[in-house]
Amino acid sequence: MGLKRYIATRGLTMFGVLLVTLLLTISLVGSNMDIILKQGIVYQVRTEITENTAIAASFSSVEEFEKYVQEQIDKRTKALGLDTPWYSPQRMGFAMYKLLILDFGHATFLTSDSGSSNVSDILLEKIPRTVLLFTTATIIISIIGIFLGALSGSKVGSVTDRITSMFAVISSSFPVWWVGMLMIFYLHLRISFPCKSNTDFTIYRSRLHRCFTVSYDFATDYNRVDWVWFMGVSSTKFYGWNNAGRFYHCKKNYWYR
């Protein structure tokens, strides 16, 4: 009975924390998101009307044109539910419900490779490569972290121990995504490292040596570098290496204390 009560209490607590987190997230982005969406509606309506010469030429005066534009803006605003304040119980409750059932709506500008504007489709399309990239980086940082932890733990107070400890503190002080972006920009400019992956799965070549060589032709076969090479080297460079110190630091404090 005690275990069941504990599980029920923990479940209710975690669900309450989830609701509070969603509420705070909606509160933080609510007002700004409304402004962005309304500005997007105005831009879309005016663009559609001005590009349609038949509709644009049917107005006899500027006032009539502006009235028609405003009517279209009001219709789209109401259709999206933006005619009520973002903090209204109806909108906040509906937004929380949509998030709980993983219905993220439709993107305004982005689409998936298949052309879908559904946010869920866009996310699902990116998950396989994200998992592949994350798995590769996790394997690399695990190997590096365990090796550094064992090496430094066996030589407490040595130069190796001090250097790795210093590297652990420094590397854990920088956000991973920020270091990743800097490494992508730097490697792309210095050694023609691809800033995005190639979707051609038929081109598989072993070019891992290029991540250590900077003297090859800057423009040679740039567009033919396969995405597997990008995945492996990029995770090693900006993700694995940045987190190696952090992983080592945790291992050392836990394993050798």
Q: Using DSSP, how many helices (H) and how many strands (E) does the chain show?
A: 9, 0
- For the four alpha carbons of 166, 172, 175 and 177, in that order, the dihedral sign comes to positive
- Residue 253 to residue 172: CA distance in whole angstroms: 14
Q: In the chain, where are the structural domains located?
A: 2-103, 124-255
**β partners of residue 106:** 118
Is pTM, for the whole model, over 0.75? no
Q: Tell me the pLDDT tens digit for each residue of 212-249.
A: 444 344 334 444 444 444 444 444 444 444 444 444 44
Please check the confidence at residue 106 and state whether its pLDDT lies above 80. Answer: no
**pLDDT > 70 fraction of the chain, expressed in percent and rounded:** 74
In the structure, what pLDDT confidence band is assigned to residue 13 with cuts at 50, 70 and 90?
very high
pLDDT digits (tens, 9 = 90+) for 123-159: 888 888 888 878 888 888 888 888 888 888 788 788 8
Q: Mean pLDDT throughout 19-48?
A: 83
pLDDT tens-digit series, residues 153-184 = 788 788 888 888 888 888 778 887 788 788 88
Across the chain, mean pLDDT equals 73
Instruction: Work out the angle between the directed axes of helices 62-79 and 2-51 (0-180°, nearest 10).
Output: 160
| Structural contact between residues 197 and 113, judged by C-beta atoms closer than 8 angstroms | no
Report percent pLDDT > 90 for the chain.
2
Examine the pLDDT at 95 and tell me if it is beyond 60: yes
